[in-house]
Amino acid sequence: MDATTERLVDYALGVNYEDIAPEIVAGTKTRLLDTLGCIAGAWEHPVSTDARRLAARTSMDTPATVIADGNQVAPEMAAFANSVMLRVLDVSDAYRVKCGGHPSDIMGAVFAAAELGARDGKSLIVGLALAYEVYCSFTESHDANSLGWDQPVYGVVASALGAGKLLGLDREQLGHTVALSLVPNMAMYQTRQGELSAWKGCAGGNAARNGLFAALLAQEGFTGPEQPIDGKFGFKEFVGEFDWALEPGKPPYRIGKTYLKAFPICYQGQTAVWAALEMRDQIAVADIEKVHIDTYLKSFTMMGSDPSRWAPKTRETADHSMPYVIAKALLDGGVTEASFSDDALRDPATLALMQKITVAADDAMTEVHPGKVPGRITVTLKDGKEVTHELPFPKGHSQSPMSDDEVKTKFRELYSVYGAPAGAEAVIDVVENLDALDDIEALFEAFRSGAEPAAVAV
């Protein structure tokens, strides 16, 4: 083991439920409920259906559960299917400092490991909080994204350690788990360039699958490459020197800082959409001459710098298109999953308004990011009048958090795609009492309790 791997492993071994602060336990439950809503809301999404169908090809004596349909499949395929479903709508949580991503991607791995190992609710909280800590602390340490490496690179390590913890792996096994997760799985940032594909919503699920698989390999006695991070051709050789920002001996806390989303779009567009909605009653769309959006550099790069963002051909590109999501917000008064149907992507009014929208990176906004995630919209009307609105944070940011009631409302709305209201309330009750849960299967049973008949199979 190299020194960085030792730090990761020793941190994982030292995490105990009793040391996690009550507010972080509560925050973990909030992220779990939010993520389960994402799974339910994605029930009918074609990529979700494909992932479940792929998972259903596998079976074994020690399976794990695909949450939405209850199929018992190979654990790594359950991890993949569950993490694809939670991510594919792009309404799951986010976290960004030097680089970023969607830390709830790890949940598929942790769910499966909980079924195979420590099945109680307290252990699930530990696994989730630990994996989030590993994931989020890396984003505070180094900007691997700008060097061409995608978020699954640290997501796979976080998934592996969260899974390994619940499987009860020892120090040596966890060291091999880190190596077996990282060395074979250096994911490229090309996933998020140009016209975006279905893989945009699957990359994190693949990291969950491979992280769990690494832990299972180590559990069976497989050994991993020496010095996967600090070695001659280890991780740092490709991304440069950095210090992984885990604080030894400090209980996990970063899960309580991640950002929840109100809209199923790239996080970098959340503030601008809120600004558009708040100014909508001051303007008539028919009177708009032009719209200009000022934002920080990362937001501009992801959502307003590529020509594909003005002519999105896929849902994945549209939810990462600043002109598209702002046009929808101004025209429709919101951005929902319906905003990305095939008909919506071809809507003439939307396409026409998009051509009036420009986006720019503002130096002052870039300077305050990521401490703030600002957005400013200036609408020029045909009579020459200008209307401007600026916000520093979107609802759901740690500086402007959603209330418990708002998270529950979001969950209920997403769950309605999958099942009846009684099922939503059953899930809420189990999550609120997660630390008293004896077996994770009760959570999955609650989820399926409201399922429509069509939800019993892929």
Three-state secondary structure string covering 192-259: HCCCCCHHHHCHHHHHHHHHHHHHHHHHCCCCCCCCCCCCCCCHHHHHCCCCCCCCCCCCCCHHHHCE
Q: What contacts 183, CB < 8 A, 6 or more positions away?
A: 224, 225, 228, 234
Token code pair at residue 124:
């699930």
Contact criterion met (CB below 8 Å) for 111 and 126:
no
What pLDDT, on the 0 to 100 scale, is given for residue 457? Answer: 47
Residue type, 414: L
Q: How far apart are CA 16 and CA 127, in angstroms?
A: 10
Q: How far apart are CA 105 and CA 274, in angstroms?
A: 25
Q: Where are the domains of the chain?
A: 3-257, 267-391
**Closest-CA residue to 257 (of 85, 136, 81):** 136
Q: How many CA atoms lie within 13 A of 303 on its CB side?
A: 33
What pLDDT, on the 0 to 100 scale, is given for residue 303? Answer: 97
Residue type, 349: A
Instruction: For 114, list phi and psi in degrees, rounded to 5.
Output: -65, -40
What pLDDT, on the 0 to 100 scale, is given for residue 455? Answer: 54
N-to-C CA span, the chain:
42
What pLDDT, on the 0 to 100 scale, is given for residue 364? Answer: 98
Q: State the burial class of residue 46 (Cβ atoms within 10 Å of its Cβ: 0-12, 13-18, 19+).
A: exposed
What would the CATH number be for the domain defined by 3-257?
1.10.4100.10
Q: How far apart are CA 382 and CA 288, in angstroms?
A: 6
What pLDDT, on the 0 to 100 scale, is given for residue 385? Answer: 96
- Measured from the Cβ of residue 71, the count of other Cβ atoms closer than 10 Å reads 22
Q: How far apart are CA 434 and CA 205, in angstroms?
A: 24
Block means of pLDDT (10 residues each) for the chain, 458 residues, are: 97 98 98 97 95 92 94 97 97 96 98 97 98 98 96 98 98 98 97 93 98 98 97 96 94 98 97 97 96 97 95 94 98 96 96 98 97 97 97 96 97 96 98 97 96 58
Cis peptide preceding 370, ω within 30 of 0: yes
Token code pair at residue 44:
């009918």
Contact criterion met (CB below 8 Å) for 73 and 123:
no
Q: State the burial class of residue 378 (Cβ atoms within 10 Å of its Cβ: 0-12, 13-18, 19+).
A: middle
Q: With residue 458 as reference, give the H or E element that holds it.
A: none
CATH topology of domain 267-391: 60s Ribosomal Protein L30; Chain: A; (3.30.1330)
Tokens 């051909």 belong to 313
Token code pair at residue 49:
């259906």
What pLDDT, on the 0 to 100 scale, is given for residue 61? Answer: 87
